[in-house]
A and B are shown apart, each in its own frame.
Chain A
Amino acid sequence: MIEIKISGRGGQGVVLASQILAAAFFKNGMWVQAFPSFGAERRGAPVSAFVRADREEMTLRCGVYRPEWIIVLDAQLLQNPVILSGLKENGSILVNGKEIPEGFQKPGESQVFMVDAVAIAHSCRLGSASFPIVNTAMAGAFARASGMIPLESVLDAVRETVPVEQERNEAAAREAYERVRKV
């Protein structure tokens, strides 16, 4: 069973990101779940969403505590120790950012991947200057970094799940797929 945590801020499309990844895994024949951390949400407040994927039907309904992947939609959030808590040993982190924030300590033997999804969002004209939409780019980056799902599945998922501007969102996913790198 694969468990993924996605962290971002309210309004960044964290829940939609979890649904895109779930849809991509689903297209590869896996049973999936995607769900938000519950509670009253506010624009700008930290929020998380989770994805589970498994070959067989999953019946459990509870939180994700030991994700093997943590996707962070806003590098600033790395300053909050809660964001990366629970990461499995030898787990992986994918961060939206230009460079690793100063003072960031990679937990244990984890691998860290990075992509400047904000720049990609700007170039694909997704969202506004102050509020770029990075979720589809991050989905594309995840496909490459994890190798768990092919890019095509992510693009299919974007087409089905994202309500507007599918073409620009697909372009963002493609570009992030190319640009993501391990740091």
Chain B
Amino acid sequence: MKRLLTGNESAATAVKFSRAQVIAAYPITPQTSIAEKLAEYVARGELKGRYMKVESETAAMAACIGASMAGARAFTATSSQGLALMHELLHWASGARLPIVLVNVNRSMAAPWSLGVDQNDSLSQRDTGWMQLYCETGQEVLDSILIAFRLAEETHLPVMVAMDGFLLSHYFEPVDIPSQEEVDRFLPRRKARFRLDPKHPSTFGGGVSSGVLYDLRRKIQADMEAASEHFEKLCTGFSRAFGRSYRPVETFQTEGSDLTLITSGTLTGTVKAFLKGNRQGPKVGLVKIRMFRPFPGEEIRRALKGLKRVAILDRNLSPGAGGIFSQEIKASLLGLEGAPSVVSVVGGLGGVDITPEHIERLVKELLSRKGSPVETLWMEA
């Protein structure tokens, strides 16, 4: 049944239906209404869980780690500075193989203070061993969280679901809400294989030798690689249950295109709107990256092979190295026969608005040049 919800409300609704048992969250703009809504659900008894009003984001992740290690389904949400405060513990959660789900509402990192959207916060955490899913619509936010809990619990890896601050978190739009029964059928209760239990005492996380650590890291890499396939399997099941299909990488009108844009998050929707109005123009395609970790190298090579030219639109920046999706996508094209020419584009940092008209002008600019320049092209502000 379709109802109007903001992205944040969609997230809170999904967490409620997922029957999260322990929620520890600290308010930060633009995440706050997720925390407020969940507090309300727990207060009204709509969600039978513990809402811990922790004193900081570090505390929020520490609480989630504890709860998850005890065997409960744990959830938190945050943004920018808050996610950064969790950094040490994000490593901890993945090293401990805990299936925590975190929603990050993308927002620029200080200094200076900025409330606008960009992806530096979540992308700065790409090495922490968390899976990362990027959402374009409120529907995707809701669905991704439901999938994320199963994905996390079946792969024993934490999952971060990212949504653009304001452009998604605060957009009131139609979202199909499942029933609790439908969600229960798709997402069973958590059955933790390893947990803190006086009946079966174990010690977790103690010091290891180099050899053991090395093996654990090889295992996590292997499990991450397998997680991509597992995600696709879950999405097939999700599609059967709810009628909506998702893939780690999705393509639109790329065949025979003169130029294909590669995006993630809400920028994808704006590019789609441009494509819709561009029927008479040059042949432009779109590749949407939904899953960033594990990095879908194979899917990207498959999507880009044989294309003439691609431009990667990064709403993020690694100072000194350029856009982050760009670095990773370019690396995955190494040695690919029939690889396209590639341009790296950075835009929209700090929430600078990008409209279909901006995309139109960008496309003209990109088609007027040739080759794969090393330098990054910056979009007009």
Docked-complex contact B171 and A33, CB < 8 angstroms: yes
- Among residues of A, the one whose C-beta sits closest to the C-beta of B29 is A40
- Among residues of B, the one whose C-beta sits closest to the C-beta of A37 is B166
Chain A 1-40 residues near chain B, CB threshold 8 A: 18-19, 22-23, 26, 31-36, 38-40
Least CB distance, B125 to chain A, in whole angstroms? 23
Docked-complex contact B4 and A60, CB < 8 angstroms: no
Which residues does chain B contribute within 8 Å of A36, judged by CB atoms? 166, 170
Q: Say if the beta carbon of A105 comes within 8 Å of chain B.
A: no
Q: Say if the beta carbon of B270 comes within 8 Å of chain A.
A: yes
Q: A60-B356, A62-B353 are in contact. Are A22 and B172 (CB under 8 A)?
A: yes
Docked-complex contact A59 and B272, CB < 8 angstroms: yes
* Cβ-neighbour of A60 out of B30, B115, B166, B355 (below 8 A): B355
Q: Say if the beta carbon of B116 comes within 8 Å of chain A.
A: yes
Least CB distance, B66 to chain A, in whole angstroms? 33
C-alpha gap A62/B167 in the complex (Å): 7
Q: Say if the beta carbon of A131 comes within 8 Å of chain B.
A: no
Docked-complex contact B269 and A26, CB < 8 angstroms: no
Q: A23-B4, A38-B116 are in contact. Are A60 and B270 (CB under 8 A)?
A: yes
Which residues does chain B contribute within 8 Å of A18, judged by CB atoms? 172
Q: A26-B4, A31-B174, A38-B351 are in contact. Are A61 and B168 (CB under 8 A)?
A: yes
Q: Say if the beta carbon of A148 comes within 8 Å of chain B.
A: no
Least CB distance, B4 to chain A, in whole angstroms? 6
Which residues does chain B contribute within 8 Å of A39, judged by CB atoms? 115
Docked-complex contact A65 and B355, CB < 8 angstroms: yes
C-alpha gap A29/B272 in the complex (Å): 22
Q: Mark A49-64, 1 if CB is under 8 A from B, else 0.
A: 0000000001111110
Docked-complex contact B172 and A34, CB < 8 angstroms: yes
Which residues does chain A contribute within 8 Å of B216, judged by CB atoms? none
Docked-complex contact B173 and A33, CB < 8 angstroms: yes
Q: Say if the beta carbon of B128 comes within 8 Å of chain A.
A: no
Q: Say if the beta carbon of B354 comes within 8 Å of chain A.
A: yes
Q: Say if the beta carbon of B118 comes within 8 Å of chain A.
A: no
8 sampled A-B residue pairs with Cβ under 8 A = A19-B4, A26-B174, A32-B174, A34-B171, A34-B173, A38-B166, A63-B353, A65-B355
